[in-house]
Every structure is written in structure tokens, then in C-alpha cells.
Amino acid sequence: MRDILKNCTRFLTGHIRQTPQQILTEISTVMDPDTVADVYGTGELIKSFERDIARLLGKKSAVFMPSGTMAQQIALRIWAQRKNINNFAFHPKSHLELHEHKGYQYLHQLNGVYVGEANRLFAFSDLRNLSIPISTLLIELPQRELGGLLPSWQELQNICLWAKNKGIALHLDGARLWECKPFYEKDYDEICAVFDTVYVSFYKGIGGICGAVLAGEPNIIAEAKIWKRRHGGDLVHLYPYILSAKHCFTKRLAMMEDYHQKATEVAHILREIPGIHVTPEEPMTNMMHVYIEGDKELLENRALQIAQKTKIWMFNKLAASPIPDYHKFELSVGDATLQLENTEIFDIFMRLVQ
Amino acid sequence: MRDILKNCTRFLTGHIRQTPQQILTEISTVMDPDTVADVYGTGELIKSFERDIARLLGKKSAVFMPSGTMAQQIALRIWAQRKNINNFAFHPKSHLELHEHKGYQYLHQLNGVYVGEANRLFAFSDLRNLSIPISTLLIELPQRELGGLLPSWQELQNICLWAKNKGIALHLDGARLWECKPFYEKDYDEICAVFDTVYVSFYKGIGGICGAVLAGEPNIIAEAKIWKRRHGGDLVHLYPYILSAKHCFTKRLAMMEDYHQKATEVAHILREIPGIHVTPEEPMTNMMHVYIEGDKELLENRALQIAQKTKIWMFNKLAASPIPDYHKFELSVGDATLQLENTEIFDIFMRLVQ
């Protein structure tokens, strides 16, 4: 399998694959040679990047962090202390619940309260069922585990207005915020305006090595920097991540419309193939979940055969799905997807389900 | 000041200065082009480095972490839970007490109990004064804030044997462990043998970009990986730090004897100059504290003038010292120090105190 992958030249999902050597060479080639290293969060490199991202999100201040896991726990802890309430509310399929070994609980003694149900976005009407006080309402835009779903603009504003009126802090899990712009047709500062704190990421759609930013009011961000140090995230040098984030941001932020357009085309193609479902039927961002009918192992083997013949890599593995006899994978459109003709995409999926 | 620094070609302390661009270029040039990126702690690059460091330290398992702040809090938390005791003991000038905003307390609800006094190493005799149960005794080798002091081998063994007999876990803060070898004249696995968990660092003497390793028994390290994720340290890619650590490790581990030898020579030179004290008088590692008599601002300005004339940078700033009328700085010998002749070092200090 590794050999077949290694021989592939094109990829259905994500960006064009680069080796660490290619990435580091690219960064060191394009960067300003006079760049001075950041030192424990200080220096023009990190400060100017934080300022740029804060401005773009319409916030007064921002801090660069190694990860969103760190950034979001910190935001929740600060709000919990300010509101003197240890409960926060979130979607049952939030990254904090599924992928962080409950750090919010083990490190910060916070209680996560579910809003709505696992298989759909939460709605304004779900908020009535919140029976205990919460410090923060965490909203993920788009909801990654549901194939990149987004609430309508009006629904989002209703939810947020309800929270504001109750004195609840609003935190945006914007791991894929950049990918939302085509759907809302609004600038990032407009989308973020109603949120008190915003986390954004620089890999995923942007394709940097890693790194995150937390943005908000200056007093919140100043406190977040203290927590960043407590977490062990105030690294002596973050410049490899910052340089990569800056570079890829310049390269790809303007591509989000193209990724969304291609995702729409791919969804339309796949919907026509018997034995394939796509959700959402009309992609709201650059991503969708693709459901394929058939035996998991047989389909995975067939994808390997396709990869061997066409040198196009489709997916790593299939996951279980709620639809009987169907298995699924996440299809995120990136630079690599743009390189594939729609007819080629149609062909490889036809081979897969035949 | 920044302009003068920028024009300097030689440096009294540390390694030869490289820009981020030079560092990234060097890494991408020397690395194996077939290196595959680590993904969330998996992959041969990170695994093999962890294995190599574990073996060198004589431990069965190890995990690479972004920082020592993270690694050490995690070790202490795990021991606290295993022993069911929230108190740990450490030197009052430990990094955990001075530089981490008490993360051990705010994130892990641990209580730090001082052993001994701030201005000297703690001794076997200080352990008698520990009046409450502790889960872990944290020992820093060498004690950085005291100029790199080390207990004698016999004293260290006595302290550790006492802890072992009481069922207390032994954790080594080895931020500068590599620099201890010339003093103990023992291999790293011998120095670490008595410790249950060991943290080591890859900047400082090694001169990498950043990064740390925590080593110990496999069940401890497996749990540490869960905590690493909770802390937000299980980054999707750590390869810039790992590649840099590997490269600098190869380049500099064998240099520790030379650094120590040069530190000894420098201390001997400086001791002869009126108005200068050095502690320790005989350096135990590559570092020492240099105390200089005189007005802080006047001395700092004079160092700038020396830098302007000789293009040798002596120190950034002077700090207050317990000796009246004296100010101090930390002198760590690295590749840059080795490039200076002892007569040149004598000359610049003579100019400084004249």
C-alpha cells in the first residue's frame, strides 16, 4: 500500500503532496532573508502575523499558538473564570469531545454540555433545552464531522443573539473558517463580529505545516498568553510554523472560492453514480462526506488497484457509516483536487463501484 | 543596540548565530530527501528519534514533545495520580517555579514543596525537613539558576536512594543533562539509571530550534502521550523541530567536553581580573555566572562600545546580584565561545572593568 501511494502523482483530496524537504526548501527560498527569529512570543515575525490575522478577523488582538487544542481550551478556561461558570455548551461531535482526550475536563475542570444531536447541526430551537447555566457557547463553522455543514446566516445570528442576551460568551471554532466565505458571501470580520473569541487554523485548507491563532479583546489575549505558557506552548521559537502559515496563507486564502466551486462540481458528478451518496448534497464549503455502497475491504482494495493503474490516490481508508451497507470517507477539495478533470473523477468512481 | 548587535561577527556566549533562513536551509540540505512527515506522533522520523534518545538515556520508551514545560508537568501529573499524592518536591529556583506561571498548579492541581534554600543546591540533609508526603522528587542537573551547579555523584546517589526507599518517584529535569557528562564522567544511561522519568532538551547546549523528550517506562510514556494531546502538544507535524534536533544532536553532543574545557579556561581568566567574580569558581558544565562590579548602565554601555569596536558581543543585559555593587550575567559556552581566543576574552573583560 505504501509503495502504491508513493508512486501516485495525483490525489483526489487535499493539496499537492510535498515532502518535508520540499516544504522546508520552499519556505527558506521564499522568506525574507532578514527575518529574525521569534523568541518566546516576541519579535516582529510573530507580532506582525498576529496583527494581520487579528485585523482580518476584525478583532483587536491575537496570539499565535502551536495548536487549536491549546487555543480553544484556553479560551474556554478564561470565559469560565470570568463568568464563574464551569459549564460550556457545544455540539456532541466537536473536536474537543472527539479528539482531545477531554483535555478541557482533565486540565481545566470544565464540563461540556451537548446542544442538539450528533447527526445534525444544532438549531436555535435546541437552545431551549439547555437546562443549566453555561459560560460559553462554542460554535464550529463549518461542522467538520458532519461533512462541513453550516447554519444559515439568519439561524447563526439568532443563535448568537440569544447567547448575547443571556450574557453567554460566544467562541468560534474556526478550524475551517477560511472555507466558509463562499457560503456566507461575507468578509471574515463580518462572520466573526458576533463572536467574543475566534480560533483559526493554518493547515487544513490553508495547507501550512501547523499552527493556530486565537483572537479577541486585548485583555483576553493577554491572559491567553499566560495560559499558553502554562500549557507548554510558549515555545522559544515558533518560526517554522509561522513562516509556513504566512506563506501558505498568501498562496491559498484566495483559492477558497475555487475549492468550493470544485467541491460543488464533484458532488454533482458523484450524485449521479448509483451506489454513491454525498452529504451535504450541495457542499457548503470545500468538503463533503462520500458514502459508497459495498464491502469495505473490497472497495479499499479496488481503490488501491485504481491507484496502481491511474496513479490517482482516492482515499486512505473507509469508515463505518449510519447508512446500512455504505462506507464513507471525507473528501476535502484542495490544490490536488483542482488538478483532476471532472471526467477523470467520474471515471475513477465508476471503476470503484462497478 | 540592535544595529550594533547585527554588525557583530563573534559572540561570547552560545553558538554561532544563524538566521531562521540559514537554519532551515541547513536542515533541508542535510536531511534525507526521502524523509516522510510525522503525523500526530506517528511515523518513522519521530519514532526512530524517540527510540535513539530512549536508548541513550537507558530507558525503554520516550516521547518527543514541543517543550519541557509540557513534558515535566505531564510527568509530575502521572506520578501524582499513581502515588495518589498531589505534592511534589523541588528546588525553589526550578524552572517550574520561576518560568511557567505555575502551570503545575493551574492545570494539574499539584502543590510544589521547596527542598533546601534558593541560593544553594539542596543536600541530602535537607530531605529530613520534608514534613509532608510527596509523590515525586524533581532534581535539576545541572541547576541552571545557580550557574550550573551539580551535586557530587555520591550526594546524588544518597538523595536518590532515600527517595527510592520511601517509594517516591524520581524525576530528572535534564534541560542541560547533556552538559553534565564531563563532570560525572559517566554515560548518560548511568546518570539516568536511578531516575524513573527523564526530561531532556534539544536547544540550549545542543542548539536545535526547540523540542524535548520525556523518557521512562513504556506504561508511563503511553500515558504521557495522552496528556501530550490534552495539552495541545500532539501537533500534526513536529518535523521541523525533530529534524533540527537530530541534526544538531549529531553535530554537538560530542562537543560537551570541549565546552566544559573552555568554560574552565574562561573562569580561570576571569577570576584573575579585579572586580569580577565567577560562580562556580570551577565550572561544572559549560556555564557559569559572571559577577561584575560597577554601575549597571555604565557597564552595559561599555559592552556596547566594545561590541562596536571589536564586533564581539558580550551579553544582552546585566541582572541584579546578591553581591552589593555587582551585576551578573549567565555565560554559556558554545561554538561561538570556542571561536574566541582566551587572550581576546581577557582583553574584552579588561576593557569592561577598567
The owner of cell 502515588 is: B83
In a domain, A150, yes or no: yes
Q: Which three cell numbers stand for residue A180?
A: 466558509
pLDDT score at A12: 98
Q: Are residues A86 and A160 in the same domain?
A: yes
Q: How many folded domains does chain B comprise?
A: 2
Average pLDDT value for chain A: 97
Residue A238 CB contacts under 8 Å (≥ 6 apart), including other chains: A38, A41, A46, A64, A66, A211
Q: Give backbone dihedrals phi and psi of B52, rounded to 5 degrees, phi first.
A: -60, -45
Give the pLDDT mean for B118-134.
94
Give the pLDDT mean for B80-89.
98
Residue A293 CB contacts under 8 Å (≥ 6 apart), including other chains: A275, A276, A325, A326, A353
DSSP H helices, B84-180, are 95-98, 103-106, 153-165
Contact A215, A59 (CB under 8 A): yes
Q: Give backbone dihedrals phi and psi of B277, rounded to 5 degrees, phi first.
A: -115, 155
Does B62 score more than 90 pLDDT?
A: yes
- Of the residues B8, B19, B100, B234, the best mutation for testing chain A's interface (the one with the most A CB atoms within 10 Å of its CB) is B19
Grade residue B240 by pLDDT with cuts at 50, 70 and 90: very high
CA distances (Å), origin B273, targets B173, B289, B301: 34, 15, 19
Give the pLDDT mean for B28-49.
98
Strands B326-332 and B319-320, by their bridges, are antiparallel
Centre a 10 Å sphere on the Cβ of residue A183 and count the other Cβ atoms it contains.
21
pLDDT score at A28: 98
Does the distance separating the beta carbons of B231 and A107 come in below 8 Å? yes
Does the distance separating the beta carbons of B25 and A31 come in below 8 Å? no
pLDDT score at A2: 85
Q: Cis peptide leading into A20, omega within 30 of 0?
A: no
Average pLDDT value for chain B: 97
Q: Which residue of B has its CA nearest to A242?
A: B20
Q: Which domain holds residue A307?
A: 2-16+255-353
Contact B269, B276 (CB under 8 A): no
In a domain, A217, yes or no: yes
Does the distance separating the beta carbons of A240 and B241 come in below 8 Å? yes
In a domain, A248, yes or no: no
Rounded Cα distance between B146 and B154, Å, is: 20
pLDDT score at A46: 98
The owner of cell 484542495 is: A334
Three-state DSSP state, A185: coil
pLDDT score at A133: 97
Q: Give backbone dihedrals phi and psi of B272, rounded to 5 degrees, phi first.
A: -80, -10
Rounded Cα distance between A225 and A234, Å, is: 8
Does the distance separating the beta carbons of A19 and B233 come in below 8 Å? no
Q: Are residues B94 and B6 in the same domain?
A: no
Q: Are residues A90 and A177 in the same domain?
A: yes
pLDDT (tens digit per residue) in A238-286 = 999 999 999 999 999 999 999 999 999 999 999 999 999 999 999 999 9
The owner of cell 468578509 is: A187
Does the distance separating the beta carbons of A229 and B20 come in below 8 Å? no
Rounded Cα distance between A90 and A163, Å, is: 13
Contact B279, B325 (CB under 8 A): no
Q: Which residues of chain A does B68 touch, with a Cβ-Cβ cutoff of 8 Å?
A: 232
Does the distance separating the beta carbons of B203 and A67 come in below 8 Å? no
Q: Are residues B55 and B201 in the same domain?
A: yes
| Cα atoms in the 13 Å half-sphere on the side-chain side of A105 | 9
Does the distance separating the beta carbons of A33 and B21 come in below 8 Å? yes
DSSP H helices, A168-255, are 181-184, 188-192, 218-231, 239-252
Grade residue B338 by pLDDT with cuts at 50, 70 and 90: very high
What is the DSSP-derived secondary structure letter of residue A149?
B
Does B125 score more than 90 pLDDT?
A: yes
Which of A34, A69, A236 faces B210 most closely, judged by CB atoms? A236
Rounded Cα distance between B22 and B3, Å, is: 20
Q: B172, B206, B237 — which closes off a domain?
A: B237
Rounded Cα distance between B85 and B108, Å, is: 12
Residue A325 CB contacts under 8 Å (≥ 6 apart), including other chains: A293, A294
Q: Are residues A277 and A212 in the same domain?
A: no
Give the pLDDT mean for B70-81.
98
Q: B175, B210, B237 — which closes off a domain?
A: B237
Does B1 score more than 90 pLDDT?
A: no
Chain pair A-B, CB pairs under 8 angstroms: 156
Distance from CA of A302 to the nearest CA of B (A): 25
Give the pLDDT mean for A143-168.
97
Contact A46, A65 (CB under 8 A): no
Q: Which residues of chain B does A235 touch, with a Cβ-Cβ cutoff of 8 Å?
A: 66-67, 210
Q: What is the CATH number of the domain that holds A294?
A: 3.90.1150.10
pLDDT (tens digit per residue) in A279-312 = 999 999 999 999 999 999 999 999 999 999 999 9
Q: Which residue of A has its CA nearest to B20?
A: A37
In a domain, B26, yes or no: no
In a domain, A250, yes or no: no
pLDDT score at B354: 87
Rounded Cα distance between A59 and A53, Å, is: 8
In a domain, A56, yes or no: yes
Grade residue A354 by pLDDT with cuts at 50, 70 and 90: confident
Per cent of chain B over pLDDT 70 is: 100
Does A237 score more than 90 pLDDT?
A: yes
In a domain, B46, yes or no: yes
pLDDT score at B2: 85
pLDDT score at A163: 97
Q: Are residues B282 and B221 in the same domain?
A: no
Sign for the CA dihedral angle at B67, B72, B78, B80 comes to: negative
Q: Are residues A95 and A209 in the same domain?
A: yes
Q: A178, A209, A237 — which closes off a domain?
A: A237
Contact A50, A213 (CB under 8 A): yes
Q: Are residues A168 and A266 in the same domain?
A: no
What is the DSSP-derived secondary structure letter of residue B213?
E
Give the pLDDT mean for A35-43.
98
Q: Are residues A217 and A326 in the same domain?
A: no
DSSP A9-36: -EESSBSPP--HHHHHHHHHHHS-TTPP
Does the distance separating the beta carbons of B106 and A230 come in below 8 Å? yes
In a domain, A23, yes or no: no
From A246, A249, A248, A226, select the one nearest A238 (Cα to Cα).
A246
pLDDT score at B271: 94
Three-state DSSP state, B181: helix
pLDDT score at B129: 87
From A319, A341, A312, select the one nearest A16 (Cα to Cα).
A312
Contact A276, A353 (CB under 8 A): yes
Q: Which residues of chain B does A73 touch, with a Cβ-Cβ cutoff of 8 Å?
A: 232
Does the distance separating the beta carbons of B103 and A231 come in below 8 Å? yes
Centre a 10 Å sphere on the Cβ of residue B310 and count the other Cβ atoms it contains.
17
Q: Which three cell numbers stand for residue A194?
A: 458576533
From B20, B26, B70, B16, select the one nearest A239 (Cα to Cα).
B20
pLDDT score at A1: 84
CA–centroid distance for A279 within its chain: 17
Rounded Cα distance between B155 and B153, Å, is: 6
Q: Are residues A226 and A303 in the same domain?
A: no
Q: Are residues B89 and B225 in the same domain?
A: yes
Give the pLDDT mean for B26-38.
97
Give the pLDDT mean for B281-295.
97
Q: Which three cell numbers stand for residue A32?
A: 525574507
- Bridge partner list, A277: A291
Q: What is the CATH number of the domain that holds B226?
A: 3.40.640.10
Does A128 score more than 90 pLDDT?
A: no
Q: Are residues A287 and A198 in the same domain?
A: no
Give the pLDDT mean for B56-84.
98
